């Protein structure tokens, strides 16, 4: 995931699709930490969930 954060920090990602699986594995890594604008730079444009997974599509907000 560090490479992903580098691309986000550089503003190279316009849209992303994340799948969340509700399994507790430990502390994990916070995806949006240390990003300019953080999660506020993106908006959730689609969210679909089921008992086993949730899918979210985020788009970069216009500057």
Neighbours of 48 (CB within 10 A): 9
| Residue whose pair of structure tokens reads 């444009």 in the numeric block | 45
- Give pLDDT tens digits for 10-58: 778 889 898 888 776 666 666 666 666 666 788 999 999 998 899 999 9
pLDDT for res 23? 72
Distance in angstroms (rounded) separating the CA atoms of residues 6 and 3 = 5
Q: Which residues contact 52 (CB under 8 A, 6 or more apart)?
A: 21, 22
Q: Which of 10, 17, 6, 8 is nearest to 39 (CA)?
A: 8
Whole-model pTM? Answer: 0.69
At 61, list the tokens.
Answer: 């907000």
């Amino acid at each position: 995931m560090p490479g992903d954060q580098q691309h986000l920090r550089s503003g190279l990602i316009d849209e992303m699709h994340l799948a969340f699986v509700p399994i507790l594995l430990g502390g994990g890594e916070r995806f949006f930490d240390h990003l300019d604008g953080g999660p506020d730079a993106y908006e959730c444009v689609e969210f679909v969930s089921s008992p086993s997974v949730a899918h979210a599509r985020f788009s970069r907000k216009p500057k």
